[in-house]
Chains A and B, each alone.
Chain A
Amino acid sequence: MAQRDARFNQTVLVDTTPMPDHIPKVEEVGATSAPLMSAAYFIGDRCKAFNDDFMKCKDEANGRGEIDCLKEGRKVTRCAASVIKDINTHCLDQFKAHWECLENNNHQLWECRRAEMQLNNCVFDKLGLKKTIPGTPEGQVPVHLRPKQKYAQYPGPQW
């Protein structure tokens, strides 16, 4: 079956069979899209090693990554959940303000720089996690540290 035609899929199958007992259990991350978006860079900061490890494992597993990399995947899940838990414990107000702003603005980060700045400061003080955008050019102010955001609805400085 070398050629596979595109086909619409409208139906879904929910298989409620749990994982077999010999596979260790892991608590899934319960945060939804906006809080995950808000915490993404902090998850990336703390969990970079686990994430890279998981991606390397999947890369080297030759298509069997879903089965062979379960151990690495559990580490990724636990690490992300730990970041969410810590932010909830220490910076709940700033976190909530930021993800509610994101949820109301189509998850566009440039609309919510003020809330993001407060969240970044709080998380850096309490948890020591710093937001860095990977792959940005050297010698320029990163976009999340510029007060004016080019495409934001409010054109002036956001803080």
Chain B
Amino acid sequence: MGVPFEALLPYGIIITMFGVSGYGLHYVKRFANDGKKARWNRDLWDRQMMERDQRITGSFRGQSSNHQAPTGFEVSNPWKIENRIY
């Protein structure tokens, strides 16, 4: 009265597919974040600081602890502009 092995095949498929999506998302997220853990729950301050990081290092997750900004940093500050409707 053993369980026929055909009954366990779907479980193998389920585990494999969840594993593929889980590990795949993990690696895609790491790749998109320069190999670091992804940021989460970012507020406006965090987002504008990440834009500033990009102006300094060229990448949203790049970090640098220099005390001097690179050349041209002081004129690369973007103004947020919006359309006028009148």
Taking Cβ atoms with an 8 Å cutoff, the residues of A that contact B are 7-9, 11-19, 27-36, 81-82, 84-85, 88, 95-96, 99-100, 103-107
Contact = CB atoms under 8 A, between A and B. Distances in A.
A30 B73 contact: yes
A99 B63 contact: yes
A103 B36 contact: yes
Q: Which of A16, A32, A106 has the most CB of B within 10 A?
A: A32
A88 B74 contact: no
B78 A14 contact: yes
Contacts of A35: 63-65
Given A30-B68, A30-B73, 17 more contacts: A8-B82, A9-B82, A11-B82, A15-B79, A31-B65, A32-B64, A32-B65, A33-B46, A33-B50, A33-B63, A36-B49, A82-B67, A84-B67, A88-B67, A99-B63, A105-B37, A106-B37
Among B64, B66, B70, B78, find the residue whose CB has the most chain A CB atoms closer than 10 A.
B66
Given A30-B56, A32-B57, A104-B37, A95 B65 contact: yes
B69 A27 contact: yes
Contacts of B56: 30, 32
Interface in B4-38: 36-37
A45 B82 CA distance: 39
B65 A81 contact: no
A99 B40 contact: no
